């Protein structure tokens, strides 16, 4: 293998890594959005329990909780996809990160299971006319 071929393979390898890191960065921004929504819903719950004016109506809070849960599910799928693709790249190039990336895939699978359970709970109770305090307790 000559130097140019090795350099071309290395450039392609780095380009692929950068592409998947960009996807991961976008998913991380989505995760930050879910944290902000979670904070707002928790604060709304606190106001509700304190008998103060709430930030959201019950329906709006339910819609936000549903949106947040769906977004978390999409983000976990993105992270699984990115981890799997990075694992494939590392395996093809005999990279040292191969074992760590395999563990990240397993972690992503556990996160997807948690997200599915969260989706189930939100869908199950979506139109049950529960207050946001009751929904948060679920």
Give the model's pLDDT for residue 5: 56
Quote the DSSP letter at residue 65.
Answer: H
Q: 125: Cβ–Cβ under 8 A, 6 or more apart, which residues?
A: 135, 138
Give the model's pLDDT for residue 137: 46
Q: Which of 81, 135, 90, 87 is nearest to 111 (CA)?
A: 81
Q: Tell me if 24 sits within 8 A of 79, measured CB to CB.
A: yes
Give me the residue spans of the domains in the chain.
Answer: 3-137
Give the model's pLDDT for residue 134: 52
Residues, the chain: 138
Q: 69: Cβ–Cβ under 8 A, 6 or more apart, which residues?
A: 115, 118, 119, 122
Give the model's pLDDT for residue 138: 44
Q: How far apart are CA 59 and CA 126, in angstroms?
A: 9
Full pLDDT tens readout for the chain, 138 residues: 455 555 666 677 788 888 988 999 999 999 999 999 999 999 998 998 999 999 998 889 888 989 999 999 999 999 999 999 888 888 887 777 778 888 999 999 999 999 999 888 888 877 765 554 454 444
Q: Tell me if 61 sits within 8 A of 135, measured CB to CB.
A: yes
User: How far is CA 23 from each of CA 38, 61, 80, 98, rounded to the nearest angstrom?
Assistant: 23, 29, 11, 19
Q: Tell me if 117 sits within 8 A of 76, measured CB to CB.
A: no
């Amino acid at each position: 293998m000559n130097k140019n071929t090795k350099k071309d393979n290395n450039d392609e390898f780095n380009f692929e890594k950068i592409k998947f890191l960009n996807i991961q960065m976008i998913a991380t921004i989505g995760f930050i959005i879910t944290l902000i929504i979670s904070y707002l819903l928790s604060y709304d719950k606190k106001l509700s329990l304190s008998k103060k004016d709430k930030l959201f109506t019950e329906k709006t809070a339910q819609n936000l909780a549903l949106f947040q849960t769906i977004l978390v599910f999409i983000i976990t799928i993105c992270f699984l996809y990115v981890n799997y693709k990075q694992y494939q790249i590392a395996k093809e190039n005999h990279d040292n990160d191969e074992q760590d990336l395999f563990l990240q895939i397993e972690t992503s699978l556990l996160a997807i299971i948690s997200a599915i359970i969260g989706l189930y709970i939100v869908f199950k109770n979506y139109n049950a006319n529960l207050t946001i305090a009751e929904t948060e307790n679920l």
